[in-house]
Amino acid sequence: MNRRSEDATPGYEDNAALRGFGGYEPADAPRAQPKRIRPKAKPLKWRRAPWFGLVFIALVAGVLNAFGIGKPRPASSSPPPSPLVVTPSPRATVPPAVTGWRSVAGGDGAYAYDVPPNWEPAPGTQHGWDGIRLITSAFLGKCDGGAGITTEPLADLEAAARKAATDLASGAYGAAPEIGPGSDAQVARADGTAVPARVVVASVTPVPTGECAVRQAQLAVLAFGGDSGTSGVVVAYGTSARDELERIVRSYRFVPAADRGVTTPPPTTVR
């Protein structure tokens, strides 16, 4: 799975931004250790050339001194580098619609969905696989699940939800999902009205590869809009219960301006 920070703040209508996502080998060891043949040493004739030994010693000493070997090294007078303090960018905040859950806000707080308290909102992160890319993300640990928003170029809401479920199951788990019948839903607008939506839930038996292999996974997908030929899609997937994943996607809504806020996470120190 690929993760990277968002370059812009898209919503479900940002169709263009959401389309089209998508050794070293050592040399063979020698078969035998080569023999080292050393000629028999001859005794030095110091009496005939006493100056040779002195010159050689002086030469070696000069080379060592040139590289700082054998010289006393002065203590470093430079102070240790100061720790780097990183201040995160401001983040949009909205109140959760599900009591006790945490909101995941995107588009400067224009839209949001909620996740359980043990999930980690990551609204500035994109993630995905070949065939599907998700923005305004949230994650359950490293391997246990995730959620996010995308679009599908389909006007039919159930067809859009089923395609997203199939693409997600194939990319994340390497297998085709078993998708159940769809059900009706609604997405609340900022003005209090609502748009129709469709929800499908699915299960998938993953191909056991990689460090995040699981025996069984669940998917929930909500599709809405579709009037312009493109549907907004909210997905949640992982090892959580199916009802919990469905509740995540059904919490998606557009947020009135009066309910939007901004907060800056505390700075972090990098040493």
- Residue 29 in domain: no
CA distance 28 to 35: 19
- Residue 2 in domain: no
CA distance 131 to 128: 8
Per residue in 206-225, pLDDT tens?
998 778 888 999 999 999 99
The SS3 assignment for 235 reads: strand
Distances (CA, A) of 123 to 112, 145, 176: 9, 15, 28
Domain that holds residue 252: 86-256
β-bridge mates for residue 27, sequence order: none
Domain count, the chain: 1
In one letter, which amino acid is 243? D
- C-beta separation of 121 from 112 below 8 A: no
- Residue 185 in domain: yes
- Residue 15 in domain: no
- Residue 266 in domain: no
Residue 187: CB atoms within 10 A of its CB come to 22
CATH of the domain at 192: 3.40.1000.10
| pTM of structure | 0.69
User: Which among 120, 124, 155 is positioned nearest to 141, based on CA atoms?
Assistant: 120
| Predicted pLDDT of residue 73 | 55
Do strands 125-129 and 253-254 pair parallel, antiparallel, or not at all (unpaired)?
A: unpaired
- Residue 48 in domain: no
In the block, tokens 């089209």 appear at 20
Q: Tokens in use for 202? A: 């699915």
| Cβ-proximal residues to 229 (8 Å cutoff; 6+ apart), any chain | 153, 154, 155
- C-beta separation of 4 from 126 below 8 A: yes
- Residue 155 in domain: yes
For the chain, which residues score pLDDT lower than 70? 1-77, 271
- Residue 106 in domain: yes
CA distance 147 to 61: 67
